[in-house]
Every structure is written in C-alpha cells, then in structure tokens.
Amino acid sequence: MSADPRAALERLVLSFERHLEASRARGGEDDPRVIAAYEDLADAFEAYDGALYDAYGEMTPLDIYSGDEDDDELDGDLDVDEDDDGPYSGLDDLVVDVDVDVDVVDDDDGDGDDGDGDDGDVEQR
C-alpha cells in the first residue's frame, strides 16, 4: 500500500515546523527534543519522497546522506571526523560542497608589486 503524497507532504511540513520550534527552544547541545525532531524530519522526508515516486514516478532533488557510503565516493573535499560524539553522531548528515573562486588583483604598472611588500591583494568573487 503506497501513501498519499499530499498526506506525506503535510506530515513533512509539520515535521519542518516541529524541528524549527525544537531548535529555537533548544536546551543545550544534546537536547533530546531537537534530536527527536531531526529524526522525525528525516523520516517524514523519506516517506514523502517515496510516496511521490510511487504515485507519480517523480522524486525530489534532495538526498539524505547516511554516512554508510564508502569514503572513496567522496571527492576528498569533506573532512569526516569518525570519532565525533556530538548530538547528531550516527544520524544522517547533509553534505554540501562549496567552491570559492579567487582572483589576484595586481597593481597598475604590471610588475606584480604594488609597493607595499605584498604580491597582490586577494579579491573573492
């Protein structure tokens, strides 16, 4: 029996709201209400994604990283601390890879030296 995508979406939205409220009222790093809301949100998302796929053959563009995948699949840009005992250790993690482009701004005379001893200023785009 597949779930109704509309009902699963409503549960997902409520789970987001509960997670927001638990986070706002957080009573420390290991607050069990936040951890429970986190787990419920992940479960609600998986239920919605599955119901959407079962009903319409569509999926969301989001994915929950479980940490069970081989480290070789990661491109080396992520520093994973295997000994992390934080409140979310052992739970699913969202992985975001961010690239930053940097340009070196040179002086006007073209010699690469702006007279202040630096080789140029770094400008972030």
* Digit-coded pLDDT (tens) for 72-82: 454 555 454 55
Q: Is the pTM of this model over 0.75?
A: no
Where are the extended beta strands (E) located within the chain? 102-105, 121-124
**106 belongs to a structural domain:** no
**53 belongs to a structural domain:** yes
Domain span holding position 64: 5-73
Mean pLDDT, rounded, for 7-36: 95
Given this model, what pLDDT does residue 63 score?
85
Number of domains in the chain: 1
pLDDT at 34 over 60: yes
The owner of tokens 């239920």 is 47
Rg (CA), the chain: 23
Give 3-state DSSP helix, strand, coil % of the chain, rounded to 5: 40, 10, 55
The helix/strand count (H/E) of the chain reads as: 2, 2
* Digit-coded pLDDT (tens) for 98-107: 555 555 555 5
Mean pLDDT, rounded, for 111-115: 56
**48 belongs to a structural domain:** yes
Q: At 114, is the pLDDT very low, low, confident or very high (cuts 50, 70, 90)?
A: low
Label each residue of 80-113 as H, E or C. CCCCCCCCCCCCCECCCCCCCCEEEECCCCCCCC
**23 belongs to a structural domain:** yes
